[in-house]
Amino acid sequence: MTVYDVLVIGGGPGGLAAAIAAKKEGARVLLIEREARLGGVLKQCIHDGFGLLKFGERLSGPEYAERYEEEFHELSIEYKLQTFVTSVRKTEDIFHVYAVNDKGIREYQTKTMILATGCRERTAKQVFIHGTRPAGVFTAGTAQYFVNIMGQMPARRCVILGSGDIGLIMARRLTLEGAKVLGVYEAKPAPSGLARNLVQCLEDYDIPLYLSHTVTRVFGAGRLTGVEIAGVEGNMKPVPGTERQVECDTLILSVGLIPENEMAESLGVPLDPATKGPFCDNQFMTEAEGVFSCGNSVHVHDLADYVSESGETAGKAAASYKKKKRNRIPIQTDASLQYLVPQRLDADSDLSSVILYFRSREILEEGILTVTVDGRTVFAKKYRNLKPPEMKRLKIDFERAGLTGESRIRVCIAKGGDTR
């Protein structure tokens, strides 16, 4: 049986980038994808805005994926489509990956694994919407699939719950196809999507946005006939007496994404409660030796360009992986950050250009991010208009910080712009 150097699970932008990077390092690579085509969710993202950072062009989702698919095939990387990984076990230094497809059950062996399994959408029951179970309640991604892939119109009069980017994009998309979007309702006091999508998808099409409002109930037997809207207090609970009904035939949910990590959990990989993804070091290796992760399975990214970037880092590191004792230095944060990735630094790796991804916990007109090592400030950067929905990317040279195995690294954001 062939023993691969790297086995990638997932053929989206992160998985494709990881497989390509590993192959370029001389590794024998196998990629497993459960769908019939490579590209992941990008296949249905026909809007533009992809590739500005990676290629310096405004590309649609399919165009962005095609750039990677072409390179993937040029390198003759082995792959399996419509193949589902059912379980993984490890014996000594080899992973035994069991997968099923139309040809039956097959075992694959590999020295390392890269989990590029992406993320999934929260459903109506996960946000505690009560009522019946009529047709017409969709996640934003499902509605997008119906319109852009199947050519089917799922709505005529719709309400959108949540101001995440997919929901905003679908508000515009459905309007262009002739539907009436009655409003986008957001439980939080501030929008969850990127500023550009708020302007291009709502303001440009006169679609109203209602902050501090949520859907509490759905009505209808065979098909949705309406929803109940209520105001929301600061504790995120509906305010009694503020309920009103809105007649509609469709409710679209854009209420957040969760990294898909059932496979990681089955391997005993510890997950970060803040990101819902694995704890990783700067090479995207998890706490499980030889298991790497990348893309939205680590944390939910704003841009596909960053997903590909993490895949390239993970693929290169997996290809050169050698089992050894790890000297990992934790990166500590405080309540000013929602999260920071990576959560560890591999002290024996190249630390001259470590990329940090983070989100602030609060909206700040001015803030300064500070990185300290053993109490010494080694990096500080001013930011304007920090917002929790907008992920930030930062490159730092830790080689100059004089790190030791006992070093304490701390990252925090202070209000205001004074670096003194």
Model pLDDT, residue 132: 85
The mean pLDDT of 93-109, rounded to a whole number, is 96
- The pLDDT tens digits for 366-387 are 999 999 999 999 999 999 989 9
Helix axes 13-24 and 304-319, enclosed angle (nearest 10) = 30
Question: How far, in Å, CA of 314 to CA of 284, rounded?
Answer: 5
pLDDT at 401 over 90: no
Model pLDDT, residue 419: 45
What is the chain's mean pLDDT, rounded? 94
What is the percentage of the chain residues whose pLDDT exceeds 70? 99
**364-373 and 337-341 strand pairing:** unpaired
pLDDT category, 323, cuts 50, 70, 90? confident
Ordered alpha helix ranges (H), 45-129: 61-74
Q: In what order do the strands lie in the sheet with 328-333?
A: 344-346, 328-333, 409-415, 364-373, 376-386
Which is it for the CA torsion 197, 201, 202, 204, positive or negative?
A: positive
What is the percentage of the chain residues whose pLDDT exceeds 90? 86
Model pLDDT, residue 235: 80
pLDDT category, 163, cuts 50, 70, 90? very high
The mean pLDDT of 87-108, rounded to a whole number, is 95
Per-state percent for the chain, helix, strand, coil, to nearest 5: 25, 35, 40
Model pLDDT, residue 417: 56
Question: How far, in Å, CA of 264 to CA of 281, rounded?
Answer: 15
Model pLDDT, residue 389: 87
The mean pLDDT of 57-65, rounded to a whole number, is 96
Residue 101 DSSP SS3: strand
| Cβ contact 118:296 at 8 Å | yes
- The pLDDT tens digits for 14-46 are 999 999 999 999 999 999 999 999 999 999 999
Q: Report the C-alpha dihedral over residues 34, 37, 40, 46, rounded to 10 degrees.
A: -150
| Cβ contact 29:22 at 8 Å | yes
- The pLDDT tens digits for 210-240 are 999 999 999 999 999 999 999 999 788 899 9
Of 270, 354, 346, 272, nearest to 310 by C-alpha is 354
- The pLDDT tens digits for 271-312 are 999 999 999 999 999 999 999 999 999 999 989 999 999 999
The answer, as to whether pTM is greater than 0.75, is yes
pLDDT at 92 over 90: no
